[in-house]
Structure 1
Amino acid sequence: MLSMEWLEKAACTEEDPELFFPVGTAGPAARDTAAAKEVCAQCEVRVQCLAWALKAGESGVWGGTCAEERADLRRKAQWSHAVRSARSARSDGSSPSSRSDRSSRSSRPDRSSRSARSARSAAT
């Protein structure tokens, strides 16, 4: 279970919780989101709050981000992880281009056997 000890120091505990859980993304909801982010900007535990929301999959405004922004952060983190994994695979001595060259060569038909077949069928 994730610890929430940091919540005791959170600036949002003195605010109306509904401010941090707006319904929608336009009009009053957009104003509430902006106001909630202003509270977060002054909070000493914003980083811990954001980490919590990313791990727990929370909705609403947490750590100065809305759910859509956290989804973007997760996608970027997954992309970064994929890039690091690819770099790591390359550092083990095999490069993606050398692997693809080998696989493309093995999947190509052998031209010499094709021309030999053609010559045999033409002779008969």
Structure 2
Amino acid sequence: MIIGDPYSRDCPTRKVLDRIADKWAVLVLGLLMGGPMRFNQLRRTVDGISQKMLSQTLKSLERDGLVSRKAFATVPVTVEYAITPLGQTLADTVDALRVWAETHMEAVTAHQQRYDAGAASGA
């Protein structure tokens, strides 16, 4: 087990934190908590994600051991993605961030509007 100082530039923990901070990774993991999904199903469900970005996100999650990829010998080939046990532990944790965002989005938006109004008036 590597233990380090996440405030240090060279700490490996930062690579994991980068994954957690990626909105697409959080959204994909959240969807896969509900069960395996195919690529196009994920792309249709995650509004605003490009095919390229979804592909990159899934490859990164697979590389990190958070998502598994299974190809089926069909014509055309069918590919299904599922969350791994390690991915489930992360998804459980980051889903709390999604819930927090949903719960507090109105308050944050109100603060942003007040701040922006003050910045516009020079206050």
Regarding TM over 0.5, the answer is: no
Greater fraction of residues in strand: 2
Greater fraction of residues in helix: 1
For the pair shown, the structure with the greater C-alpha radius of gyration is 1
* TM-score, reference length from structure 1: 0.31
| RCO higher in structure (CA 8 A, sep ≥6) | 2
